[in-house]
Structure formats: C-alpha cells, structure tokens
Amino acid sequence: MNKKINEEYANELTARYIELRRWACEHWPNTAQPLTAADFIATERELGLLLGARLHPAGPDHDGPADPDSGYLDVTPMPWP
C-alpha cells in the first residue's frame, strides 16, 4: 500500500467529515434539541478506527510481532517497578 496515498485519503476524508458535521449542525431541523459536536463522538471513534488500523495495517515500517513466525504482536505490558 502506498503510504502517501493513504495519508492523502485520510486527510480528505477527515476534512469532508468535519464539513458534513458542520453542515448537519447548522441545518438540523429540530431547533428545540440542536446538534452539537458532542453528538458525533461515536462517529469520530469509528472514523478513527477506519483511518487507523484498517487504512494503515502493520507493515515493514511498523513494529512487527515478537516472533515473526507467530503472526501475533507482543502486547504484554511492562511489569510494575
């Protein structure tokens, strides 16, 4: 995968999402219960997942698994001092 293309896509998608969120808040028809940026927290979390792990899967420039043959990343936390 081309890292530059992925970054450009992520930047464009983020800009379009911010514009959509702005438009949605400005044009929300129920003025008694207006939309705010806080109403989009779950959407932003999902967008982060799409633009994170799914768009940038582990590659040669990413920390690989502890055992290259295992197919698993070592996620063991550091012990307490």
Global pTM value: 0.63
Calculate ∠ Cα 60-61-66, nearest 5°. 70
* Per-residue pLDDT tens digits for 8-66: 998 999 999 999 999 999 999 999 999 998 999 999 999 998 888 777 776 544 444 45
**8 A C-beta contact, residue 35 and residue 24:** yes
Q: Which amino acid does the sequence have at 11?
A: N
Q: Which domain holds residue 69?
A: 1-81
Q: pLDDT tens digits, residue range 68-77?
A: 566 676 677 7
Q: Tokens for 28, please give them.
A: 């929300």
Number of domains forming the structure of the chain: 1
